[in-house]
Amino acid sequence: MALTLEIVTPEARVYSDTIDTVVIPTVDGEIGILPGHIPLLTQVEHGELRVTKGSTVLFLAVGGGFAQISGDKISVLAEHAITEEKIDEKAAEQAIHRAELAMKEAKDMDPNEFEHLQTMVRFAGTQLAIKRRRR
Amino acid sequence: MASTRDIRRRIKSVKNTRQITKAMELVAASKMKKAQAAALAGRPYAQLMADMLTALGGSVDESFHPFLAQREVKTRGILLVTTDKGLCGPLNANLFKLVTEIKSPAKFYVIGRKGAQFIARTQRSMVADFTVSDRVAFKEVKAASEFMVAQFLEGVIDTIEVIYPRFKNTLIQEPVVRPVLPLLSLKEVIAASQADSGIVRGAQSDDREMLFEPSAPQVLEALMPFFVNRYIYQLVLSAKASEHSARMVAMKTAKDNATKLVGELSLEYNKARQAAITQEILEIAASAFAA
């Protein structure tokens, strides 16, 4: 029995395919999903999502969100998500750089803004980690 | 009768206006397409959210979350979604009409410059205004909705409502007040969410009991703000689609009017020209007779 995986963000459906297994980063640590998993609703953390299909392994960077497993259908609802081939290393580096600069400059910045910058840094960091592992 | 030169000048200026309105119409049309596509792109997300809430709905006590609890409404919190620029027909004016109908004490949060100006001019209490670009990035709307949620939790406002032009089709945008918080019950949320995405899903295919990690209330605690952000985002997307289609229609009307005016002016010009020629012939003929 194959699993179907669907990853959506508010802006688009990032990924949708039938797969063999997937490893999802959750707040309680990584969980691997195989066919026949019990129905589950869990919180997704910033991190890398590993999709195995046949002999290929695909990495995706995901930002906070939720995952639902129901029958052989896995749905991931994330604020950000990006597939490995779409990651732009330079853009991610620059994003980190920009965000860090902004965080240094304004000590008493709006906490929301600060949190957003932190999220950006973490997401960009995840993207870089995925991209660089291959070398 | 105006001189032919005056009429020619007017024709030229009306033609220029027509050129501009035509260009604006085309720009608005392409932006409208993008805005509609963006609104559609949000649908799978809305649907998934509805699915998850359905799964959660059965397993938590509704009275436990602050978003669900009913409380006495002292101050309404209203998010007014307007445009930054004018030239979009009666779109903003219709929204303002809704605002003036609100008599109970309310605090306003505004997206768009036109709304901010209106609230300031009518001396209503405005807490914050936000700008959202034409692309409507999620984070721009999130800043606004998270700010409102924080105020809601602090008790500064007792409701969160959104006034926005709902996109029905290219010709019709109706101004509506959409209550967001408090959510009356989970079921209502789910129904609203499903109506939004236009898809009603049947029962879960898997009837084994659902497992929640870390726990159902904790997941709900995290999912609720998420849901509110997403919901408001969808409303803003709809407002953007409305703005561009209203502008497109307004510009099309302006262009058509200009074309009509050019026709009328050309007629008048030709008449004036003809009259001048006839006059000249008469004068020549008269002087020929006299000689």
CA nearest A20: which of A31, A4, A44? A4
Cβ atoms of B93 and B175 closer than 8 Å: no
Task: Determine phi and psi for B52, rounding to 5 degrees.
Answer: -65, -40
Chain segment A56-78, per-residue pLDDT in tens: 888 888 888 889 888 888 999 88
Window A:99-118, CB contacts with B under 8 Å: 112-113, 116
DSSP state of A76: E
Q: Chain A contacts of B143, Cβ < 8 Å?
A: 112-113, 116
Dist CA B24 CA B38 (whole Å): 21
Q: Chain B contacts of A13, Cβ < 8 Å?
A: 41, 44
Chain segment B114-163, per-residue pLDDT in tens: 999 999 999 888 898 898 888 887 778 888 888 998 999 888 898 899 99
Asked if the Cβ–Cβ distance from A10 to B230 is below 8 Å, we say yes
Cβ atoms of A84 and A130 closer than 8 Å: yes
Omega within 30 of 0 (cis) for the link into A35: no
Q: What is the pLDDT of residue B202?
A: 46
Q: What is the pLDDT of residue A73?
A: 87
Dist CA B77 CA B124 (whole Å): 12
Dist CA A11 CA A80 (whole Å): 9
Cβ atoms of B24 and B246 closer than 8 Å: no
Q: Chain A contacts of B146, Cβ < 8 Å?
A: 112
Which CATH number does B28-246 carry?
3.40.1380.10
Chain segment A73-121, per-residue pLDDT in tens: 899 988 888 888 788 878 888 888 888 888 777 666 677 677 777 787 8
For residue A55, pLDDT over 70 is answered with yes
For residue B283, pLDDT over 70 is answered with yes
Span of A13-17, A41-45, B56-60 with lowest mean pLDDT? B56-60
DSSP state of A38: P
Asked if the Cβ–Cβ distance from A39 to B52 is below 8 Å, we say no
Asked if the Cβ–Cβ distance from B205 to A11 is below 8 Å, we say no
Asked if the Cβ–Cβ distance from A38 to B214 is below 8 Å, we say no
CATH classification of B4-26+249-290, choosing from 3.40.50.2300, 1.10.260.40, 1.10.287.80, 2.40.50.100?
A: 1.10.287.80
B230 and chain A in contact, CB less than 8 A: yes
| Mean pLDDT, residues B47-63 taken together | 70
CB atoms within 10 A of CB B243: 30
For residue B65, pLDDT over 90 is answered with no
CA nearest B18: which of B250, B256, B244? B256
CB atoms within 10 A of CB B257: 14
Window B:68-127, CB contacts with A under 8 Å: none
Torsion angle, CA of A100/A101/A106/A107, rounded to 10 degrees?
50
CATH 3.40.1380.10 in chain B is located at: 28-246
